[in-house]
Amino acid sequence: MANAPTTPGIAPARLDPQTLAAHFADLEPPFGPHEAVVAADRCYFCYDAPCVTACPTEIDIPLFIRQIQAGQPEAAARTILDQNILGGMCARVCPTETLCEEACVREFAEGKPVEIGRLQRHATDALMARGIHPYVRAAPTGRRIAVVGAGPAGLACAHRLAMRGHDVVLMDARPRIGGLNEYGIAAYKTPDDFAQAEIDWLMKIGGIETRTGVRLGETVTLEDLRAQHDAVFLGIGLAGVNGLGVPGEDLEGVRDAIDFIAELRQAEDLARLPVGRHVVVIGGGMTAVDAAVQSKLLGAEVVTMVYRRGRARMSASQHEIDHAATAGVRIITDAQPVAVHGNGAAQEVEFAYTHDGEAGLELTGETFRLRADQVFKAIGQKLAGVPEGLTRAHGKIAVAGAGRTELEGVWAGGDCTAGGDDLTVTAVAEGRDAAEDIHAALTARAAA
Amino acid sequence: MADLTSNFLGIPSPNPFWLASAPPTDKQYNVERAFRAGWGGVVWKTLGFDPHIVNVNGPRYGAVWGADRQLLGMNNIELITDRPLEVNLREIKAVKRDWPDRAMVVSLMVPCDEESWAAILPMVEETGADGVELNFGCPHGMSERGMGSAVGQVPEYIEMVTRWCKKHTRMPVIVKLTPNVADIRNAARAAHKGGADAVSLINTVNSITSVDLDTMAPEPAIDGKGTHGGYCGPAVKPIALNMVAEIARDPETAGLPISGIGGVTTWRDAAEFLALGAGNTQVCTAAMNYGFGIIKELTAGLSLWMDEKGYRSVDEVVGRAVPNVTDWQHLNLNYVTKARIDQEACIKCGRCYAACEDTSHQAISMSEDRVFEVIDAECVACNLCVNVCPVENCITMERLAAGSVDQRTGQTVSDRYLNWTMHPNNPMDKAAE
Ligand SMILES: Cc1cc2nc3c(=O)[nH]c(=O)nc-3n(C[C@H](O)[C@H](O)[C@H](O)COP(=O)(O)OP(=O)(O)OC[C@H]3O[C@@H](n4cnc5c(N)ncnc54)[C@H](O)[C@@H]3O)c2cc1C
Ligand SMILES: Cc1cc2nc3c(=O)[nH]c(=O)nc-3n(C[C@H](O)[C@H](O)[C@H](O)COP(=O)(O)O)c2cc1C
Ligand code: SF4
Ligand code: SF4
Ligand code: SF4
């Protein structure tokens, strides 16, 4: 079945296997040892370094870069992982251009920051390649903690709790653990099944029992978990998606971008994954960019991303938008979908131009249509299935301090909580800090 | 985890990294910051008698930079402490009281007479300091006044002053040596004879870092004039390593503890000093260049390396390389190597060719299509091409196996150890026959 980008409808194998493999290989290849040392040499070892302040996990960046310079990437990895146990994944997926590298003084001076992300990858890869897990568990405390949701927040929390000597039960509704590391992040950012390799490495700490297929609210209740554990951490992410609310949304070919991405991430063989000839992605965030770019890489002929506001309001970073444009994605802004047309299956999406009016976003009245065999909705995820008793803030679980919810003994962190950007690294920081807070609370309780 | 604790001269410190006597150890404020950051000890900025000296009020440092402004070497025309003696002593006492687990050594420089040393030593003892270091090294300013390197360049003075100090204090006495001498061993032997508990080296090297070609003044310039200053930092490390090794392998000073100083910047530099016989290391420029935070890299790095090599304590590293430092005449002349170019790694820049063709032995050939190959019949294995090649491990030195023929000499390579003293061309060897 030799299909081509121009094959009508939704079809697999639009590109030959070699091209697909090349398209989904490492977006940014790893540094060789020489490149790494040259890149490391650019770091000024700033005092109270702005890059560290900009990192949600506050990795001691100048120190780890100096350790690479001094010929010890493994020591550098230790510095990274002390603060961020998913430092390997973060090195691949962090939008560094809006975090550490944006803050780097050399970005300010020359518009060319120290390549912190790639250096971080160099260090963590070196350690993991040697199969070293540098942490050991403290003496057992006899405490048992339930961690619900095995995304970056849950994983970071579980690891830190295990390190502090607690026993952890890590549960997730999905068949594989990892959360969006496993089901969401763009494939070319984490090739060669890095997400699972990192989890295997993380689990070497011991003391973490994993249970998949367990859904809070269905398989178990929060009440049960509270009764059976000394503390509960919720890192359940954003399981719901926003709908378009326009006619034709239920036509065949219209689906949530995150489902398409999850399917892509789980695909054994990308050549068997169908994609439309004409793909329209609705949204302006990271999910929209990833769905659009990966559709293009799968061989869709025409991919258009449409965002209802101006370019400056897109939540995807400039770097990501540029990446989409380079991949051949057409980007239309200031247009909002009003209907999906088609007979059983989608054929066209009708958009209306918008502008910022007095009452917020207003339609100009002018409309246009885009051909679409496939329509991906990427207009935001939302919290779903929040257990009773938890208050909400800005549509998310309200927390105070290091992830304390209103309920005694229940902590939460990551995308499901208000505060912080919805990023892998932020989830790691919140999971880690909640673990320390749980540890402190349990220790205080034991002392009392 | 390797044990980094150090017990140099019986002075305990949590790691073998001390800050050398210099601005970083100038006052209580700095030293406490250093200890908080994790430094194992300090040698306090050199004390002298009141009225305290004055420093220049214009630039006192000069520098040599790499292309990206990495500081490769620095020089200074700073003198000893410019604060009253009493203030320094009070602060030393306070710091030692609050940080009992850290090494506190006090550097001293007073006029070259016994009364002066006899007067200052009890004052230092009273602070509770762990030891003293005699600054016979400062190469500028103080030497014009008969102190510093003016003492350190005359072995008789070194021995004499060391003897006075040993007589007037129970504290360990470290003698800090100047590299501005022809043979460092004479200075170390003199310290040893005088009863020194250890030597530390190197102090700074006489230098002018640059000349401002507009004003025609050497840098750092004070009102249009400059003077030679003391050079330090990465650039002086090779000089320091050699001097440390020379003392470590000198039978006359065998067993004399050495504190290694000069260009220590990363854990590796420190490990090299230890391997060549230094019992601990002191750091100045690296801290001045990057701040006290570098101690984290130094300790973590040394510890990781020791773990990987299976060394459990610092003492197991000290002196490991000393037996392998020898005289030229003992090098094996039957050790024959040839340069080998890895054609896969070669980027065809031609630097090896230019170097060998213009300045060495015309032992690299260049083809029309820029393939560079070693001509074994010409290669003397000098290593120049290895050093100039921009690609690491692209050119390597491979040993010729015993029994193979060296194309250059036509001789069969022997596995017999043959040094110059045994060589037929050696007139002394012939004479002995
Ligand atoms: C397509 C896409 C691309 C992204 N790309 C990037 C990127 O490049 N860089 C970046 O920094 N961030 C990126 N993000 C954001 C990042 O993935 C998230 O911020 C991060 O994964 C949040 O971690 P978390 O642990 O809070 O939640 P998640 O990773 O969402 O994990 C939550 C887990 O909880 C489980 N769960 C949910 N409800 C229940 C329940 N009721 N019972 C049991 N288990 C439950 C889920 O199955 C899931 O495994 C991307 C997000 C998406 C959607
Ligand atoms: C600014 C400056 C001042 C110094 N002052 C002293 C001093 O007062 N006493 C002393 O013994 N050495 C002094 N030194 C020498 C250092 O202690 C050290 O021996 C030398 O700098 C070499 O080490 P480094 O390469 O780590 O800097 C000084 C060095 C510098 C850079
Ligand atoms: S801001 Fe840039 S130069 Fe400064 S420490 Fe961070 S990475 Fe290095
Ligand atoms: S480093 Fe500080 S004291 Fe020295 S010249 Fe600069 S500002 Fe002045
Ligand atoms: S210097 Fe190195 S890279 Fe350049 S031509 Fe010679 S061998 Fe090749």
**Where residue A164 sits, what CATH number does that domain have?**
3.50.50.60
B232: helix, coil or strand? strand
Catalytic residue among B138, B346, B352, B389: B138
Q: What pLDDT is attached to residue A1? A: 56
Q: What pLDDT is attached to residue A59? A: 98
Q: Name the band, by pLDDT with cuts 50, 70 and 90, for residue A31.
A: very high
Q: What dihedral do alpha carbons A161, A162, A165, A166 form, nearest 10°? A: 70
> Do A248 and A232 belong together in one domain?
no
> Do A259 and A359 belong together in one domain?
yes
**Which of A33, A66, A74 minimises the CB distance to B297?**
A66
> Do A228 and A195 belong together in one domain?
yes
How far is residue B354's CA from residue B366's CA, in Å, rounded to a whole number? Answer: 10
CB within 8 Å of B58: residues ≥ 6 apart = B220, B221, B222, B223
Q: Is any Cβ of chain A less than 8 angstroms from the Cβ of B72?
A: no
Tokens of B283: 């750091």
Tokens of B218: 């050497």
* Selected residue with higher pLDDT from A279 and A357: A279
Asked whether the predicted pLDDT for residue A376 surpasses 80, the reply is yes
Nearest ligand 5 atom, CA B385: 1
In a domain, A8, yes or no: no
Q: What pLDDT is attached to residue A425? A: 98
- Domain stop point among A349, A380, A411: A380
Q: Which residues does residue B158 pair with via DSSP β-bridges, in sequence order? A: none
SS in 3 state form for A391-415? Answer: CEECCEECCECCCECCCCCEEECHH
> Do A274 and A319 belong together in one domain?
yes
Task: Find the helix or strand (DSSP H, E) in which A368 lies.
Answer: strand A360-371
Asked whether the predicted pLDDT for residue A209 surpasses 90, the reply is yes
A44: helix, coil or strand? coil
Q: Which residues does residue B108 pair with via DSSP β-bridges, in sequence order? A: B47, B134
Q: Which residues does residue B365 pair with via DSSP β-bridges, in sequence order? A: B373
How far is residue A93's CA from residue A181's CA, in Å, rounded to a whole number? Answer: 9
DSSP state for residue B163 in the 8-state scheme: H
Residue A321 near residue A314, CB atoms below 8 Å:
yes
- Domain stop point among A328, A363, A380: A380
Residue A333 near residue A353, CB atoms below 8 Å:
no
Region B384-398 average pLDDT: 96
Q: Which residues does residue B74 pair with via DSSP β-bridges, in sequence order? A: B63, B232
CA distance A34 to chain B (A): 8
Nearest C-alpha neighbor of A422 from the set A297, A316, A271: A316
Site to probe by mutation for ligand 5, drawn from B344, B346, B383 as the one with most ligand atoms within 8 Å of Cβ, is B346
Of all protein residues, whose CA lies closest to atom 8 belonging to ligand 5? B346
What letter represents residue A233's amino acid?
Answer: F
Give percent above pLDDT 90 in chain A.
92
Q: What pLDDT is attached to residue A420? A: 85
Write the CATH number for A55. Answer: 1.10.1060.10
Nearest C-alpha neighbor of B257 from the set B199, B193, B192: B199
A69-122, pLDDT tens digit by residue? 999 999 999 999 999 999 999 999 999 999 999 999 999 999 999 999 999 999
CA distance B266 to chain A (A): 6
Asked whether the predicted pLDDT for residue B433 surpasses 70, the reply is no
Residue B22 near residue B85, CB atoms below 8 Å:
no
Buried b (16+ CB within 10 A) or exposed e, B412-432: ebeeeeebbeeeeeeeeeeee
Tokens 């370094």 map to which residue? A49
Q: Which ligand is nearest to the CA of B344?
A: 5
- Domain stop point among A129, A161, A188: A129
A87-98, pLDDT tens digit by residue? 999 999 999 999
> Do A153 and A166 belong together in one domain?
yes
In a domain, A134, yes or no: no
Q: Name the band, by pLDDT with cuts 50, 70 and 90, for residue B137.
A: confident
What letter represents residue B431's amino acid?
Answer: A
Q: HSE (CB half, 13 Å, CA atoms) of B385?
A: 34
Residue B117 near residue B165, CB atoms below 8 Å:
yes
B65-110, pLDDT tens digit by residue? 998 899 999 999 999 999 999 999 999 999 999 999 999 999 999 9
Residues of A in contact with B294 (CB under 8 A): 45, 66
Average pLDDT of chain A, as a whole number: 95
Residue B244 near residue B201, CB atoms below 8 Å:
yes
Region B340-353 average pLDDT: 97
> Do A213 and A164 belong together in one domain?
yes
Q: Is the peptide bond before B155 cis (omega within 30 degrees of 0)?
A: no
A72–B294 CB contact, under 8 Å:
no
In a domain, A280, yes or no: yes
CB within 8 Å of B186: residues ≥ 6 apart = B155
Q: Is any Cβ of chain A less than 8 angstroms from the Cβ of B291?
A: yes
Taking the centre of ligand 1 as the mean of its atom positions, its distance from the CA of residue A308, in whole angstroms, is 24
Taking the centre of ligand 4 as the mean of its atom positions, its distance from the CA of residue B59, in whole angstroms, is 9
Phi, psi of B110 (to 5 degrees): -130, 170
Which residues span the domain enclosing A73? 33-129
Q: Name the band, by pLDDT with cuts 50, 70 and 90, for residue B430.
A: low
Pairing relationship of beta strands B337-341 and B280-283 according to DSSP bridges = unpaired
Residues of B in contact with A67 (CB under 8 A): 297, 300-301
How far is residue B372's CA from residue B342's CA, in Å, rounded to a whole number? Answer: 10
Of all protein residues, whose CA lies closest to atom 2 belonging to ligand 5? B389
Region A218-237 average pLDDT: 96
Tokens of A147: 């961690």
Residues of B in contact with A78 (CB under 8 A): 300, 304
> Do A270 and A359 belong together in one domain?
yes
> Do A286 and A356 belong together in one domain?
yes
In a domain, A13, yes or no: no
> Do A166 and A228 belong together in one domain?
yes
Residue A77 near residue A124, CB atoms below 8 Å:
yes
> Do A252 and A224 belong together in one domain?
no
Region B197-208 average pLDDT: 97
How far is residue B404's CA from residue B411's CA, in Å, rounded to a whole number? Answer: 8
B309-325, pLDDT tens digit by residue? 999 999 999 999 999 99
Residue B90 near residue B96, CB atoms below 8 Å:
no
What letter represents residue B192's amino acid?
Answer: H
B293–A47 CB contact, under 8 Å:
yes
Average pLDDT of chain B, as a whole number: 96
Q: What pLDDT is attached to residue B431? A: 47
Residue A327 near residue A317, CB atoms below 8 Å:
no
Q: HSE (CB half, 13 Å, CA atoms) of B9?
A: 25
A129-165, pLDDT tens digit by residue? 999 999 999 999 999 999 999 999 999 999 999 999 9
Taking the centre of ligand 1 as the mean of its atom positions, its distance from the CA of residue B258, in whole angstroms, is 57
In a domain, A194, yes or no: yes
Tokens of A60: 């001691």
Give Cα A421 distance to the centre of its chain: 11
| Ligand 1 shell residues, CB under 6 Å | A 93-95, 148-154, 172-174, 179-180, 184-185, 189, 214-217, 235-237, 239, 258, 261, 286-287, 290, 385, 414-416, 422-425, 427
In a domain, A16, yes or no: no
CA distance A180 to chain B (A): 34
Give percent above pLDDT 70 in chain B.
99
Of all protein residues, whose CA lies closest to atom 14 belonging to ligand 1? A423
What letter represents residue B84's amino acid?
Answer: P
Q: Name the band, by pLDDT with cuts 50, 70 and 90, for residue A389.
A: confident
Q: Which residues does residue B374 pair with via DSSP β-bridges, in sequence order? A: B364
Residues of A in contact with B304 (CB under 8 A): 72, 74-75, 78
Q: What pLDDT is attached to residue B333? A: 96
Q: What pLDDT is attached to residue B427? A: 87
How far is residue B392's CA from residue B374's CA, in Å, rounded to a whole number? Answer: 17
B300–A71 CB contact, under 8 Å:
no
Residues of B in contact with A41 (CB under 8 A): 68, 70
Taking the centre of ligand 2 as the mean of its atom positions, its distance from the CA of residue B251, in whole angstroms, is 28
Region B237-252 average pLDDT: 98
Closest residue in B to A63 (Cα) is: B297
Tokens of A264: 């892509």
Q: How many domains does chain A have?
A: 3
How far is residue B269's CA from residue B288's CA, in Å, rounded to a whole number? Answer: 16
CA distance A42 to chain B (A): 7
Region A251-263 average pLDDT: 97
Q: Which residues does residue A254 pair with via DSSP β-bridges, in sequence order? A: A375
A75–B300 CB contact, under 8 Å:
yes
**Which of A34, A60, A78 minimises the CB distance to B392?**
A34
> Do A234 and A254 belong together in one domain?
no
CB within 8 Å of B155: residues ≥ 6 apart = B186, B187, B189, B190
What letter represents residue A82's amino acid?
Answer: D
Residue B219 near residue B251, CB atoms below 8 Å:
no
How many CB atoms within 10 Å of residue B300? Answer: 21
Residue A44 beta carbon below 6 angstroms from any ligand 3 atom = yes
B296–A60 CB contact, under 8 Å:
yes
Q: Label residue A183 exposed, middle or buried (CB < 10 Å: 0-12, 13-18, 19+).
A: buried
A46-77, pLDDT tens digit by residue? 999 999 999 999 999 999 999 999 999 999 99
In a domain, A435, yes or no: yes
Residue B352 beta carbon below 6 angstroms from any ligand 5 atom = yes
Q: Which residues does residue A410 pair with via DSSP β-bridges, in sequence order? A: A232
Of all protein residues, whose CA lies closest to atom 2 belonging to ligand 3? A104
Q: HSE (CB half, 13 Å, CA atoms) of A102?
A: 12
In a domain, A357, yes or no: yes
Tokens 């302040």 map to which residue? A53
> Do A47 and A117 belong together in one domain?
yes
Q: Is the overall model pTM greater than 0.90, yes or no?
A: yes
Taking the centre of ligand 3 as the mean of its atom positions, its distance from the CA of residue A100, in whole angstroms, is 8
How far is residue A360's CA from residue A169's CA, in Å, rounded to a whole number? Answer: 46
B145-162, pLDDT tens digit by residue? 888 888 899 999 999 999
Tokens 């004409």 map to which residue? A278
**Is there a catalytic annotation at residue B346?**
no
